Amino acid sequence: MNIKQEQTGIFIDGKEVISVELSNSKGTYVKIFNYGTIINKFVVTNAKGIPQDIVLGFDKFEDYLSEDYLANYPYLGAIIGRYANRVKNGQFELDEIAYQLAKNNGDDCLHGGINGFDKKIWDIVALSESPIPSVTFQYFSLDGEEGFSGDLAVQLRFDLTDNNELILTYQADTDEATPINLTHHSYFNLSVHGGNVKTHFHQMNASHWLEQDGNFVVTGKLIPVADTFHDFRKGKLIGENWNEEQGYDQTYVLDKSYGELTLASKTTEASSGLSLSIFTTEPVAHLYTAKYLDVKHGKGGKHYQPFDAFCVETQHHPNAVNIPDFPSTILRPDDIYHQTTIYKVSINEL
pLDDT reported for residue 262: 98
Q: Is the pTM of this model over 0.95?
A: yes
3-state secondary structure the chain: CCEEEEEEEEEECCEEEEEEEEECCCCCEEEEECECCCEEEEEEECCCCCEEECECCCCCHHHHHCHHHHHCCCCCCEEECCECCEEHHHEEEECCEEEECCCCECCEEECCCCCCHHHCECEEEEEECCCCCEEEEEEEECCCHHHCCCCEEEEEEEEECCCCEEEEEEEEEECCCEECECEEECCECCCCCCCCHHHCEEEECEEEEEEECCCCCEEEEEEECCCCCCCCCCCEECCCCCCCCCCCEEEEEECCCCCCCEEEEEEEECCCCEEEEEEECCCEEEEECCCCCCECCCHHHCCECCCCCEEEEEECCCCHHHCCCCCCCEECCCCCEEEEEEEEEEECCC
Q: Name 70's Cβ contacts closer than 8 Å, sequence gap at least 6.
A: none
Across the strands, what pairs with 99? Answer: 92
- Of the candidates 145, 165, 282, 313, the residue annotated as catalytic is 313
pLDDT by residue for the chain (350 residues), tens digit each?
A: 699 999 999 999 999 999 999 999 999 999 999 999 999 999 999 999 999 999 999 999 999 999 999 999 999 999 999 999 999 999 999 999 999 999 999 999 999 999 999 999 999 999 999 999 999 999 999 999 999 999 999 999 999 999 999 999 999 999 999 999 999 999 999 999 999 999 999 999 999 999 999 999 999 999 999 999 999 999 999 999 999 999 999 999 999 999 999 999 999 999 999 999 999 999 999 999 999 999 999 999 999 999 999 999 999 999 999 999 999 999 999 999 999 999 999 998 65
282: left (phi over 0), alpha (psi -120 to 50) or beta: beta
pLDDT reported for residue 41: 98
Parallel/antiparallel/unpaired status of strands 51-53 and 78-80:
unpaired
C-alpha angle with apex 125: 121 to 131, nearest 5 degrees? 130
Q: What is the pLDDT of residues 314-343, one digit of tens each?
A: 999 999 999 999 999 999 999 999 999 999
313 catalytically annotated: yes
- Rounded CA-CA distance 13/27 in Å is 35
pLDDT reported for residue 204: 98
Q: What is the pLDDT of residues 165-185, one digit of tens each?
A: 999 999 999 999 999 999 999
pLDDT reported for residue 350: 55
pLDDT reported for residue 348: 87
pLDDT reported for residue 1: 63
- Of the candidates 185, 200, 230, 317, the residue annotated as catalytic is 185
Q: Which fold has domain 3-347?
A: Beta-galactosidase; Chain A, domain 5 (2.70.98)
Task: Spell out the domain ranges in the chain.
Answer: 3-347
Q: Which residue type is seen at 80?
A: I
297 catalytically annotated: no
- Rounded CA-CA distance 90/103 in Å is 6
